[in-house]
Structure 1
């Protein structure tokens, strides 16, 4: 997930993309059979629809409740989507996507860099344009880019990529892409993930491709500062036999078919799981040794913290902790003091205690949501923007069960944590 920042509007450049027929034909190579990895989390659209609820701060249209409703302390129903058969949700830094049972997308939130994939009102949900004959099965939101995975294994993106200096671009030819466009060169994709300004895509053979901004090594390859636009083209990170991808704002994750997790990218707070304050960046895919005895099924990051989910429903947190992003009840390991940084961190993956078995996680910029197998939600972390849904503008030190009059008696089926807001999908009996 991504930290929040409102970017200035920028007009997009138009360009003509080269077709497959225009590409130079490479010399013939020896054909090598690649074994498709078994038990991959092949993206399939969910069948159970629910109602969307939002909470947190929405002064930049994140809540979708209209221009006059900019704060919700507790979950509030997004009534505009009640008849749309929503089966999945995604939250970016300041925009959101809702996926229908039919594979269509609705969007709302900041549209400065065309992240909504449409024109019109930002404060209420409307359909994404240009996907009429396309069925989306998964969607992910970065800070200024949206990524959609189709049932045919194709990837569509729109918006732009930013760097520390400002807009980097959508591609070498296009600065801002207004409507969904297919990513050339990617096929048979089964999973996607986004950081603040980078994207990961996993194909059916277990290979991972990355593109975007590589200033913090989050792409798993070296990008020269004078050739930063090269990062906008998807390239393999060199990993094999992987079964899932995940991302933090400036770091990346992969899980292999045996449940072993790896990471690369920014590690200033130990958010890559490497307990070495001297290693600020991990340039290539590296196993998280501290989790080698755990079977990991999901791993995601926020701005500078990370959460890992095990097969048996336990959570491990590591990284920055000054706003209780890890939900441990403390900001440093007892008896230790991190003198290498003015910000507190827990660099060793540490079990988050006193939680029931967890089904799924969503990590926002500086807060986290966890969905239990019984359909309850726990939240913790930075609370000033009310993104934890507890109604108090204070940090939440330990996982706190989400309550609210509008979701009383409901079973939550999906969660999405954004920059300063959160979105859930729930079903009432």
Structure 2
């Protein structure tokens, strides 16, 4: 079986869509490539080095802006700003797995699962688009369900599963959708977990290699591996029948993790580092195919129940019901927020607590992490070469490695006192940029902006050239507000962000956001009036904007009359990965759908 294509390659490449790159960008990012016929797909393990932070010299080429004052001591390991990282990281979600509108911060209780909602007649479903070359869509084999989808469409497999009652009974649908590097997880209304995508590192939680056909044959024949990976299958050993009703989950590049309604945690897959496979559960080079319990030592566990999980490329954060935070995985860029002795690196693969207390919300980027405490303060740590942690230069310790925040540090720009008391309720991040959703519906962002990752218009104050320079900043080192267009109307079906005005009225006029999600270099947002916007770089159709590969500012995702899914379905949650995207959606009533079609 040929090795799998790297996530970085999947995100930044496509046949026949080669983008011209400037010399500056070529210095830090490989040109787009695409697997041709007969060409083996590069594995995630093979791509580990290129997918991670590389040399400081390359960082200097990338960032022409004045960087925060940090130590000149060489950065650890390999560092580069490239098309890599994790996409899906779930932070604060409602009881049904979607962000609740206008939700205020509160201590997160152990989530409780609901019963299959047969009364709906048609459960929540999925819309899908992007690149699915390696089965990331989860719609099976075949040219019509792989390749690229450049505008949202209904997920064919999920629709059939709803009709057949496979997701928890008649009319039951999807409870939540979670995306990793090249795989996805889906919670159904019965509390079972489905998975699909690349399984090289055990991320799917089920066997897909050398699985015998049923009924058994003599000699033994095996099911097609690619068909098993590209079609949703139940993760082994989870669900109500196993006393583990799944209510939350997270996915990294090759690692997956789930929480039950009782607050118990199981995980599977593998962690990788700059030199390849790190291991699993404190065991070097190990891959765990099926879910197992966390390897806690009794003295390490302060709480028996967990309420939230978030995954970066190869690290995981776990929030306990008592507000304590645990981390495990790769720590090359200090993304774990705790010290790991150089000669005891396997300790990083077992959960240990951080010094933080009373944490309510967590979030991760590929190689950096966040936490929000009960006072609304945002803490950040990990890789920060492009300012993706948002920490002010005054708080950077000169003893730290260059481009790294070595321990949890307050992000002053996000403190409630600077936002009229508003607090961050959700954090999403890509490889080198981060997004913060406040409970007043505003969105703030920081980090790399070479490919418009931050969604800032040319006239945004953060993009003004520094004094004595004609060049626009390529990164924003402290969070700034992202502005959204007004909703569409019959007269203006594709409104743009209005010209910037330095007034409170202008800032308040921006459309209010209820959910955000970050891919490697693109983003999705849902407004409180149920419109979906995308922006950033999407050379493999990640933006959902047809053939449009770049969107400088938030741009409304629309679908044509022949495929009116954006009008027919109400978006509930966005999930963006490096190359593929989903929207958790509910079918609208006829009157509501008709109104939306008129506006769009």
**Does structure 2 conserve the Cα–Cα contact (< 8 Å) formed by 1:41 and 1:191?**
no
**Does structure 2 conserve the Cα–Cα contact (< 8 Å) formed by 1:237 and 1:284?**
no
Question: Comparing both structures, which one devotes a greater share of its residues to strand?
Answer: 1
Alpha-carbon distance between aligned partners in 2 of 1:56 and 1:44, rounded to the nearest angstrom: 32
**Does structure 2 conserve the Cα–Cα contact (< 8 Å) formed by 1:261 and 1:291?**
yes
**Does structure 2 conserve the Cα–Cα contact (< 8 Å) formed by 1:309 and 1:316?**
yes
Alpha-carbon distance between aligned partners in 2 of 1:194 and 1:212, rounded to the nearest angstrom: 10
Question: Comparing both structures, which one devotes a greater share of its residues to helix?
Answer: 2
In the other structure, the counterpart of 2:554 is: 399
Compute the displacement of 1:221 (Å): 1.5
In the other structure, the counterpart of 2:428 is: 300
Alpha-carbon distance between aligned partners in 2 of 1:141 and 1:7, rounded to the nearest angstrom: 18
| SS in structure 1 at match of 2:317 | strand
**Does structure 2 conserve the Cα–Cα contact (< 8 Å) formed by 1:91 and 1:417?**
yes
In the other structure, the counterpart of 2:111 is: 43
Q: TM-score if structure 1 supplies the norm length?
A: 0.87
| SS in structure 2 at match of 1:392 | coil
Alpha-carbon distance between aligned partners in 1 of 2:155 and 2:543, rounded to the nearest angstrom: 17
Of 269, 272, 276, the residue aligned with 2:389 is 272
| SS in structure 2 at match of 1:168 | strand
Compute the displacement of 1:172 (Å): 2.0
Matched, 1:346 2:476: yes
Of 525, 529, 541, the residue aligned with 1:374 is 529
Matched, 1:415 2:574: yes
Matched, 1:142 2:252: yes
| SS in structure 2 at match of 1:196 | coil
Compute the displacement of 1:371 (Å): 1.7
Of 56, 68, 71, the residue aligned with 2:130 is 56
Superimposed CA distance per residue, residues 161-187 of structure 1 (whole angstroms, 9 cap, x where no aligned partner): 010111101122361000011113362
Compute the displacement of 1:333 (Å): 2.0
Aligned length: 401
**Does structure 1 conserve the Cα–Cα contact (< 8 Å) formed by 2:110 and 2:305?**
no
**Does structure 2 conserve the Cα–Cα contact (< 8 Å) formed by 1:200 and 1:245?**
yes
Compute the displacement of 1:342 (Å): 12
Structure 1 or 2, whichever has the larger Rg, is: 2
Alpha-carbon distance between aligned partners in 2 of 1:381 and 1:76, rounded to the nearest angstrom: 21
Alpha-carbon distance between aligned partners in 2 of 1:275 and 1:338, rounded to the nearest angstrom: 22
Counterparts in 2 of 1:78 and 1:289: CA distance versus 1, 3 Å: same
In the other structure, the counterpart of 2:463 is: 333
Matched, 1:130 2:237: yes
**Does structure 1 conserve the Cα–Cα contact (< 8 Å) formed by 2:110 and 2:262?**
no
Q: TM-score if structure 2 supplies the norm length?
A: 0.63
In the other structure, the counterpart of 1:109 is: 197
**Does structure 1 conserve the Cα–Cα contact (< 8 Å) formed by 2:107 and 2:374?**
yes
**Does structure 2 conserve the Cα–Cα contact (< 8 Å) formed by 1:3 and 1:302?**
no
In the other structure, the counterpart of 1:210 is: 327
Unaligned 5+ runs, structure 1: 11-36
In the other structure, the counterpart of 2:273 is: 163
In the other structure, the counterpart of 1:96 is: 184
Alpha-carbon distance between aligned partners in 2 of 1:232 and 1:116, rounded to the nearest angstrom: 19
| SS in structure 2 at match of 1:360 | strand
